[in-house]
Structure 1
Amino acid sequence: MKNSIPSDSKQKYVFSGIAVVLGILSAIAPIWPAGDVAPRVGGLLVIAGILELLHSFRRSSDEERKSAWFGAAITLIFAVLLINATNFVGTALIILIALSFLIDGIRYGIEAVKNYRREANATFEILAMIGNLSVVAIILLTKDFGFDWTIALTGAWRIIGTAISIFHAKEGRSETSGIDVVESLELPDIPSVNSSVKKIQEEERVRYPFDKTWIIVFLVLLFIIHLGRMGLDKTALGILSPGVALFGDVVVALIITFGIISPLRAVFKKITNPIIRRLWIWVDKVPEEQRKKFGLRRIVNSYLERRLRTSIRLRNAGYSFRSAFMTGMQTGLPYAAMLAAIIPVFGMSWYFDTENWAAGIWDNWAASRTDEWRMAITRSAGETPGPNAFRIIPDSVNNSSDFSFIIIGDPGEGDASQLCLKDQIQIVSEKPDVRFILISSDIVYPSGEMKDYETKFWLPMKGVYKPVYAIPGNHDWYDALNGFTATFFEPKAAHDAILARINKDLKFTSTTENHIKELIKEAQRLRTNYGVPTGFQKSPYFQIQTDKFALITVETGVTRRIDDDQLAWLKQALEAAKGKYVMVVVGHPFYAIGEYQGSLNKDFQAIHQLLRDYKVNLVMGGDTHDLEYYVERGFGNDPGSVMHHFVNGGGGAYLSIGAAMKPRDEMPEKEWAHYPATEPLIKKIEDNNSILKAPAWYWTKKLNGWPFTAEFLSAAFDYNTSPFFQSFFEVKVEPSKGVIRFIPYGVNGQLHWKDIETSGNIMPGDKSAESAIEWVFPLTGN
């Protein structure tokens, strides 16, 4: 059964040529300019997979099309694995990559055997099998050569294999799909079937323009809905974000059609085909014109035609990309629209709400530009280099008096997870000794845009009348830091900073002079209306120092790196802080989710080493959405060295579960604590889980999410219902007593030792489980 005519096209040469170039780029990915290799190679694999998928519709037979789809699927899975490389446990990523090549090698081996049995040429299949299996050998041989080169070479091998597959493929063009479907049913040549096929094909031809129209209208309405919910702020980001959400809806529709409905239908079809054949024969016994108007045969015939129509549509989808797209939209778009309508009702979701998918796009964009932007922004301030650069002096913070301040990490979802802390933040901020509030990391989700600041910053902070400072997180960089800069910088500094960033981008941006003025004007309007004091900074990082205490912030952007200017500034600030108690607030923590994070990249590890070299007392980071504590001892050449680490990211986003799900004996240090404790967290999740999430929860709870981490799956169990486990810190600097206190708060006030999970060796001997938690340290330098 082959309903195709041999043909040749320029497409195969163009596509295979592009794939060869992609393969070369993958092979040299480790020597590209600064950046992570895995996501780069993953992006190249995405393009290669799409090329093979598009070319599959030109293949000459159903068997060749299926082979191309399978190959493209493996390539795209490989790409997704690499793009999410940081979410895998240990060697799990390498194991899965090797497994994908092994599966593809076995597939080609099976095809080679089939060709041999029917006395067809099997040379290509044998070579493809050898090529795929050889990748497994490459992985084993290069395991000590370095992760980056292993990824680069295996990615290149896969892409070059795709190029060869496209070049080798036999092409053709479809003439009919109805006959294919009839033959697949193994029906005799009967009038009922033949007339139904002709009628359906003619109806499909006639209704195509109408289907095309309603799909376009549906997509336009979805775009308008996304635009209305996400807001329009007259920037490229304001238009592109709803566009990405719409693209996400299309992807979801295609996944529903070809990933869920089609496989289920294929299984059902396989089981019921014998019955369907008998029903067709039974219906055909009475000519159509002799059937009763409301008789059983007419009803059965209607069902059979509906089933036949679906089969023809799905078979058509295998012959052209346009047909595949139309079939996917006809079947899956209504379901995707339903999901788009109801998902936001249940709170913020990173996985299922396509309106948040744009953040992933902007993450890659901002990652490549953050260091350049940051240097342009800080240089525009005209700050004189030196130990006092970017120094803030809050009112009543001096060398002799006691004072305290609040630190809130990752607050900006704007839903119940943020608002549940609102009253406690207000209560603590009203204490006389509280001089300021510091927000560390991810002020506004999902993309740090000014249009989201009112509901996700100003409204939750209403009632706070102490100065508010901030350091941005990765999400705040997704709009090039415009919203953050307008809100937290001095007005003139904000104007100069945004303008400098524009010039750094060679004015290739939608941000104009008028838009800069609008941003600053809007920030001032909100500042006035809500009465929350902001606008004191000139930089995304700063320092506050007294004679005995130094608070130094380190802004690590999207990729856990700092630029050369910030590095020079940081060294000067640390030098000036020698002999003092030094607290560093960093955008990303060095310890989180029960793991050491410093090894994620060399630059981040270098920052950690710098802080060790200067004997920093304590480091506090956000980004991970919970409260964690670790004691690092005996680093460097000093067995008595100690550095305390806090994760303080539970200020108002979905809860991270990585630390709570980590086995106690796998914690990175011997002294640790985390909030929430494991038992109450598990109880909340299990009380809210539906039966649909039971498999994912079993996978997370029993297998710790392998090959991913439990943390990677956190957002799947985000329930904005009580009990809430969000938190923040009050830090009390008391020169009069020679101590500094770190006091954690939850939604009902100060946390107690019974609320948190610990290693069993950090609670002071004079405290009990009912005692309120205070970490108290001498106010002296290391």
Structure 2
Amino acid sequence: MSPHPPSRRSPANAGWGCRQIGEFSRLTPRKKRFNWLRPGPLVASRNDWLARRFGDPTDDMRRAWLERLPALQRATLPAPDVDLRTRVIDRFAGRDRISIAVLGDPGEGDASQYAVVPVLQHVAADTDLAVLCSDLIYPAGGIGAYADRFYRPYADYPGPIYGLPGNHDWYDGLTGFMTTFCDVPPDAGAPTVRGPGSALQRTLRRLAWRRPPTATVAEVADMRWYRDAESQQAVQPGPYCAIDAGPVRLVLIDTGITGRIDREQGEWLRAVSAPSDKPKILLTGTPIYSYGTLGRCPIGGGGDVNEIVTEPAHNYVAAIGGDDHNYQRYPVHLRDGRVIQYIVSGGGGAYLSATHQIPDVDRLAPACREEDFRCYPLRGDSLAHFSRRYDALLAFGRGLLRISPEDATTMMAERIGITPPRTGTPPEQISARARRALERVFPLPARGAPAAHNLMSVLFDSDTPPMFKSFLRLDASADEMVIDCWAATGCLEHERDPVLEDRVRARVGPDGRWCWTSETPGRAVP
């Protein structure tokens, strides 16, 4: 296979000027497009609002789930594969080499998610396992939603799939996740816990809290028919766990609704990070670096997740998080000379989060520099995409707010003070109308942040190319590791010959440290 080069080489490789829509359109369920503007998703997501205002019961519910789990899991649990005490899956421990697909924020169940499927099958069908990272099911979990958002889209992926929940997966008390990934009976029901807060807060939260939807054993069996091969089966010991994947250890943490972990999970994380000398990769529902900012992810009782990741004895080489629906890679240089790849991988199927609002990454220097940073879509392509969405809404499709990818490439570089990653329109040739459009579009909501998430996110999505979806493929051996970001533009030509948007390779140096090298082109203009 000869993949298309990245969008830094050509706007066509971002999906602009797509000649024919991809075959994913035939796979997409024939139903109404997922729409956050309808009342249903807003009401179903109310537990987020309640948890942030009246106290978050997630930690108590997680502890209750884990206490109940041994009694709930069926006798078919593959005991040799899982150590329930250490929460480590050793199914792949003996491999000399390992290949892993990582899909972040996949679960809208519409064209946004299914656009990834043909590319996944093309470049990752031979991987040993896959991990779904954060927000598996939109808008609010639910067992029944897994049919079109998990079982059906990945029916042809031959390997086992593991998962870690995002905030949306907790809105049903994690019942759908526990049934799908931990083999809990669908009628088990979410734990009833007291939770934090005053008596009044607990009462208000209990009265308004969303009760999880239910499903019968027969209904779940019908869903599982899509992925019923022996090679596809997997059971994990809860929402956080570790996977000994041959030469690497994957560490999956559950950051709940509010992006933190409790004391018990923090103690487990320290324990599972320390004893193994294998290189480790953290997978988390909320990224540590995103939008040019360090978010440490606090741990109950003190400390934060990034302290554990950067501890030399723990030997972490990468930290991958979802939640923001795009791709970002920050190679962060630590004071002791090591480099850790901090990656946002949230382009697996949800609406797009803008990248044009990422500032100049030189603000992080000397830890990370703009020249070494990578994102998808490129900032200019992100601006061009959102200009079209807002032109349709605010300018009634008259083109007053539309910005071409070439103009957007140049203006974004000017605005944030960087060298364009791809050749754009010469500055003197950009029209006054395009510059006015930039000033109107740039400040508008484009990330799906809490203030805009429910009311505006439908505008961020598109069912036609360019779609700017992506996922990761990780290949590792004892002395080499490669992380690829594969793009899903929605174009037929890119389904047949996918776009390799980013690649970074590490080899073990003479001192035993992993030395990273980017294989994606840098600036288009010296």
Name the TM-score class by shorter chain.
Answer: 0.5 to 0.7
> How far apart are residue 708 of structure 1 and its match?
6.7
Contact 2:297 2:306 in 1 (8 A): no
Task: Specify the code of the residue in structure 2 equivalent to 1:589.
Answer: P
Q: 1:638-677 counterparts in 2 under 5 A? A: 638-657=335-354, 659-664=355-360, 668=364, 669-670=368-369, 671-677=372-378
* Higher relative contact order, structure no. (Cα contacts within 8 Å, ≥ 6 residues apart): 2
Do 1:560 and 1:604's aligned partners in 2 also have CA atoms closer than 8 Å? no
- Measured in 1, the distance between the counterparts of 2:144 and 2:245 equals 37
One-letter identity of the residue aligned with 1:632: V
Is the aligned partner of 1:587 residue 2:279? no
* Alignment deviations for residues 518-562 of structure 1 (CA, whole Å, 9 cap, x no partner): 455433331124437355122011111257421111110111111
Task: Say if 1:379 and 1:387 are closer, same or farther in 2 by CA, change over 3 A.
Answer: closer
Unaligned runs of 5+ in 1: 1-343, 756-772
Correspondence 1:739 to 2:480:
yes
Higher helix share: 1
Give 1:437's aligned residue.
130
Matches within 5 A, 1:596-607: 596-598=294-296, 606-607=304-305
CA RMSD of aligned residues (A): 3.6
1:448 aligns with 2:141: yes
Q: Measured at CA, do residues 689 and 436 of structure 1 come closer, stay the same or move farther in structure 2, by a change above 3 Å? A: same
SS for the counterpart of 2:274 is: helix
Q: 1:627 to 1:665 in 2, by over 3 A?
A: closer
The structure 1 residue matched to 2:62, chosen from 366, 371, 374, is: 374
User: For residues 77-96 of structure 1, what are the alpha-carbon distances to aligned partners after superposition, in whole Å with 9 as ceiling and x for unaligned?
Assistant: xxxxxxxxxxxxxxxxxxxx
Structure 2 contact 57–194 (Cα < 8 Å) conserved:
no
| Alignment pair present for 1:408 and 2:145 | no
In 1, Cα distance between equivalents of 2:271 and 2:436: 48
Residues in 2 aligned to 1:679 and 1:459: alpha-carbon distance in whole angstroms: 34
1:13-37 C-alpha deviation (Å, 9 max, x unpaired): xxxxxxxxxxxxxxxxxxxxxxxxx
Deviation at 1:503, TM superposition (A): 6.2
User: Residues 373-426 of structure 1, C-alpha deviation per residue, up to 9 Å, x if partnerless?
Assistant: 1111122235999996111133xx233421201111101111111111111222
Give the 5 Å matches for 1:195-594: 347-350=33-36, 352-366=37-51, 368-382=56-70, 389-394=86-91, 397-431=92-126, 434-491=127-184, 498=188, 501-502=191-192, 518-531=215-228, 533-545=232-244, 548-577=247-276, 579-594=277-292
Closer, same or farther: CA 387–643 of 1 in aligned 2, 3 Å? farther
Which one has a bigger Cα radius of gyration? 1
1:376, 1:688 → 2: CA distance? Answer: 44
Aligned counterpart, 2:385: 684
Indicate if the aligned counterparts of 1:704 and 1:710 stay in contact, CA closer than 8 A.
Answer: no
Structure 2 distance, partners of 1:746, 1:379, is 40
Deviations 1:141-182 (A, max 9, x none): xxxxxxxxxxxxxxxxxxxxxxxxxxxxxxxxxxxxxxxxxx
Match of 1:640, SS state, is coil
Displaced runs of 4 or more, over 4 A: 382-388, 503-506, 508-512, 518-521, 599-605, 694-701, 703-711, 749-753, 779-782
> For the structure 1 residues 500 and 719, does the alpha-carbon distance in structure 2 shift closer, same or farther, using more than 3 Å as the test?
closer
TM-score (norm 1): 0.46
Indicate which of 599, 602, 610 corresponds to 2:308: 610
Shift of 1:587: 0.9
Change (3 A) 1:656 1:546: closer
* Aligned-residue offset at 1:732: 0.7
Aligned counterparts of 1:538 and 1:665: Cα–Cα separation in 2: 38
Q: Which one-letter code corresponds to 2:439 in the other structure?
A: K
For this pair of structures, how many residues does the alignment match?
Answer: 401
Tell me, yes or no, if the aligned pair for 1:429 and 1:466 is still in contact at 8 Å: no
Q: Which residue of structure 2 lines up, in the alignment, with residue 314 of structure 1?
A: none
Give the counterpart letter for 2:93 in structure 1. Answer: N
Where does residue 3 of structure 2 map in the other structure? none
Aligned counterpart, 1:626 = 326
| Structure with greater proportional strand content | 2
Please give the alpha-carbon distance, in whole angstroms, between the structure 2 residues aligned to 1:501 and 1:709: 36
Offset, 1:602: 8.8
| 1:88-113: CA deviation from partner (whole Å, max 9, x where unpaired) | xxxxxxxxxxxxxxxxxxxxxxxxxx
Cα distance in structure 2, aligned partners of 1:480 and 1:386: 25
Indicate whether 1:729 and 2:484 are aligned: no
CA distance in structure 2 between the aligned counterparts of 1:604 and 1:448, rounded to whole angstroms:
30
**SS of the counterpart of 2:128?**
strand
Cα pair 2:138 2:168 within 8 Å, conserved: yes
% identical equivalent positions: 24
Does the C-alpha gap of structure 1 residues 456 and 709 become closer, same or farther in structure 2, counting only changes over 3 Å? closer
Give, as a single letter, the amino acid of the residue that structure 1 aligns with 2:340: M
Report the alpha carbon displacement of residue 654 of structure 1 after superposing the two structures with TM: 0.4
